[in-house]
Amino acid sequence: MKKTPTPLSHNSSRKLPIIRILSEEEELFVKLNLEMEDETHDILVKWGKEVASDEDYVSIAIRAGLEEYVDALDNKQK
């Protein structure tokens, strides 16, 4: 059974310090739409958390923040 992640909202009244992009690196990846049992999903999540680095978490947070920002802009234009 597919699990959809629940987006976490941030407290927009709390400002982050400036983040500078020092370099960029293109990576080739494919997003897969997977169907699996809940137990299998839980095992994969556990394994992913064991190997994820702090940089992986930063990338996830930046991407989620940018997606939320773009969605907010789209909603304002409608």
Q: Where are the domains of the chain?
A: 53-78
Kindly calculate the radius of gyration of the chain based on its CA atoms and give it in whole angstroms.
Answer: 16
User: What distances in angstroms separate CA 9 from CA 61, 65, 69, one per listed residue?
Assistant: 11, 9, 11
> Which whole number is the average pLDDT over 36-58?
96
pLDDT in tens, 9-45: 555 566 778 888 899 888 888 889 999 999 999 999 9
Q: Of 30, 31, 8, 24, which is closest to residue 59 (Cα–Cα)?
A: 24
CA dist 78 and 76 (Å) reads 6
pTM of the model: 0.62
Rounded to the nearest angstrom, the gap between the alpha carbon of residue 54 and the centroid of all alpha carbons in its chain is: 13
